[in-house]
Amino acid sequence: MSFIDLRSDTVTVPSQQMREAMYKAEVGDDVFMDDPTVKVLESKAADITGKEAALYVTSGTMGNLVALLTHEIHGFGVMAGRDSHLFNNEGGGVSVFGGALCQQVNDEAGLPLVSDMELAFKANSSNVHLAPTKLLCLENTHNKRGGMASTVSEMKVCTDWARNKKMSIHLDGARIFNASIACNEKVSDYCSLVDSVQICLSKGLGAPIGSLVCGPRSFIEKARFWRKRVGGGLRQVGIVAAAGIYALDNNIERMATDHANAAMVKKMLDEANIETLAVARPTNMVYFKIKDAAKTDALISACSAKGVKFNSTAPATYRIVFHLNINREEALKAANTIIEEVKSIGV
């Protein structure tokens, strides 16, 4: 069976044009900084984000970890949203490898409120009982908040507060291009507010692998060391870096199609009286709920049997994600299948 796979925007497969770019890529040993294709990709990412330099890594999780280790967080507090990907979905790397205390703040609005950050903040003072807060981590778009995009001005409220506290700032910008499209803002304007940013190539951009850490040149030189230390040294990786170049050149503006498909499906679910998560600035995700948590898995199985795949994020709660391998007709079929099976199962 050919599935309509809505589990994530990470399930995309390279197009023929992307495969051709990979096949033709010049390669070299990237640990020796000899891979010309990686150099092109890193330079392109630095230009797009407005940073001095960039470092190619295997994944967004590695990118966030390498960035945080480069910020020298050991023994300090790292402030992050309690619903953030960094806190919930990265294996506790901030504590396991970084030796840092994660100071959680409420990020239900997609970004933390200043009042909540003030409560969580620990000053670098003579009080030996406290781990001083050194780094603020933001996420845009915010996965668990329904793929919500925050504007540059909204982010600036948080970053201005952190600057006043003399904190460093890292942005988990895995889906920052979705935010850029949704808010009609430049990626570089978002990134100008932070010291470091991680951008992902293997989500909405459709590359098979890879993320980039972007920041000042001196920061990226240190990050290169940390990448090696955590086992991320790469050899003839231009083959996949070429896919990243193709993605940045061709797959950014088309994300608007994913957002439109998500909006259409949300409207259909709402009209069918299926509860969806309201999002101020939605992107390529739709979260929806059923009433009977005991039937969580039953709905997934029933829809899968009809060729539509998606995951639950909690009992009775589901996430569907639109991407470049899903066209409008497939989005319509997915919505109709979900509506039919919700009625059939009686949830």
Per-residue pLDDT of the chain (347 residues; tens, 9 = 90+): 689 999 999 999 999 999 999 999 999 999 999 999 999 999 999 999 999 999 999 999 999 999 999 999 999 999 999 999 999 999 999 999 999 999 999 999 999 999 999 999 999 877 888 899 999 999 999 999 999 999 999 999 999 999 999 999 999 999 999 999 999 999 999 999 999 999 999 999 999 999 999 999 999 999 999 999 999 999 999 999 999 999 999 999 999 999 999 999 999 999 999 999 999 999 999 999 999 999 999 999 999 999 999 999 999 999 999 999 999 999 999 999 999 999 988 76
| Domain segments of the chain as ranges | 16-250, 254-345
pTM of the prediction?
Answer: 0.95
Note the CATH architecture for domain 16-250.
3-Layer(aba) Sandwich (3.40)
Paired with 104 in beta bridges are 80
Note the CATH architecture for domain 254-345.
Alpha-Beta Complex (3.90)
Domains 16-250 and 254-345 share a fold: no
- The angle formed by the CA atoms of residues 338, 178 and 209, to the nearest 5 degrees, is 90
DSSP 55: E
Between CA 311 and CA 297 the distance in angstroms is 9
Whether residue 215 contacts residue 66, with contact meaning beta carbons closer than 8 Å, is answered with: no
**220: nearest Cα among 52, 94, 341:** 52
Q: For 197, list phi and psi in degrees, rounded to 5.
A: -145, 145
Question: How distant, in Å, are the alpha carbons of 40, 77, 151, 316 from that of 26?
Answer: 11, 42, 38, 48
Q: How far apart are the first and last CA of the chain?
A: 26
Please, which residues have CB within 8 angstroms of residue 105's CB and are 6 or more apart in sequence?
79, 80, 81, 82, 112, 113, 116, 117, 119, 120
